[in-house]
Every structure is written in C-alpha cells, then in structure tokens.
C-alpha cells in the first residue's frame, strides 16, 4: 500500500537514499493520473503557481530541467514558457511526506502567471472587509 511506503520513508534517517523510479511509482497520482505541483522561486521562496503533472511531465521535467506540466484544459503536456518565453528552469524537486504533492523550486524567467504578473496569487483576501484585493504589478 502506498501509504505504508511513505511511512517507511518517514522512519528513515537523514541522507538515506531511495531509488527515484521506485518513489515515483509510489506517488499518489489521482484518477486522472495527475499529481498537484507547487512551484516556488528557488531564491526568494515566493510561491509562483500551482499546476498539475502526470508521470511523463514529471519525467520530462527531471530530464530536461525545463518545468513541464499537464494542461487539464488542453489535455496535453505544457512546457512552461514554450509559447510565452517565460520559462521555468528546475533547480530542485521534492515530494511531500504523503507522496501526494510535488514541490518544484525554479529559476523563473519572466512572469509566472499568464496574466503577466510575477505569480498567480495576486487575489488577496481581506476577511475583515469581506473583499478580495488585487495586488502585484503586471510584468
């Protein structure tokens, strides 16, 4: 069972190495074969965006160092920046403790958001005034 696999990893000591292919096979891809990905600026640690990967996108990201996602709307692989020129170069990849989320740290070239903003999280909630405010300049 996949949950048991990640419990084994939890008990391992720091710097213990596991086979990447084996770990990827144990990741919790959903019914559509997708896993959520949080993308973070490697230097500033700002969260840039959230997207999805399938196994092929994950493998392409690792082999090319160009972050590749799965576009649910287009139902195809999507190499970030392929059309916009706003690329993401992979610095590191990590999996969370349950094996159900991927964290990619990247060097972002240009805007991360399709709106031209530095990141996709520019709709800030003001709970006191029950409003959502836009912040963050467009690139």
Q: How many domains are there within the chain?
A: 1
- Is residue 102 a part of any domain in this protein? yes
CATH of the domain at 20: 3.10.20.810
Is there a contact between 110 and 85 (Cβ–Cβ < 8 Å)?
A: yes
- Is residue 63 a part of any domain in this protein? yes
- Please return the burial class of 43, using the count of CB atoms within 10 Å of its CB with bins 0-12, 13-18 and 19+: exposed
- Is residue 65 a part of any domain in this protein? yes
- Is residue 103 a part of any domain in this protein? yes
- Is residue 136 a part of any domain in this protein? no
Task: Encode the chain (139 residues) as per-residue pLDDT tens digits.
Answer: 566 899 999 999 999 999 999 999 999 999 999 999 999 999 999 999 999 999 999 999 999 999 999 999 999 999 999 999 999 999 999 999 999 999 999 999 999 999 999 999 999 999 999 999 998 665 4
Model-level pTM?
0.91
- Is residue 41 a part of any domain in this protein? yes
Nearest to 24 by CA among 79, 92, 80, 102: 102
- Is residue 93 a part of any domain in this protein? yes
**Owning domain of residue 12:** 2-111
């Amino acid at each position: 069972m996949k949950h048991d696999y990640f419990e084994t990893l939890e008990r391992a000591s720091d710097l213990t190495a596991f086979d990447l292919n084996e770990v990827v096979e144990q990741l919790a891809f959903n019914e559509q074969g997708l896993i959520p990905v949080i993308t973070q600026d490697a230097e500033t640690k700002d969260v840039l965006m959230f997207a999805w990967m399938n196994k092929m996108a994950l493998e392409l990201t690792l082999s090319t160092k160009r972050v590749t996602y799965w576009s649910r709307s287009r139902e195809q692989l999507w190499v970030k920046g392929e059309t916009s020129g706003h690329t993401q170069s992979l610095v590191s990849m990590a999996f969370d403790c349950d094996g159900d989320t991927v964290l990619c740290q990247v060097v972002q070239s240009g805007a991360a958001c399709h709106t031209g903003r530095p990141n996709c999280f520019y709709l800030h909630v003001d709970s006191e005034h029950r409003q959502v405010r836009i912040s963050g300049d467009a690139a």
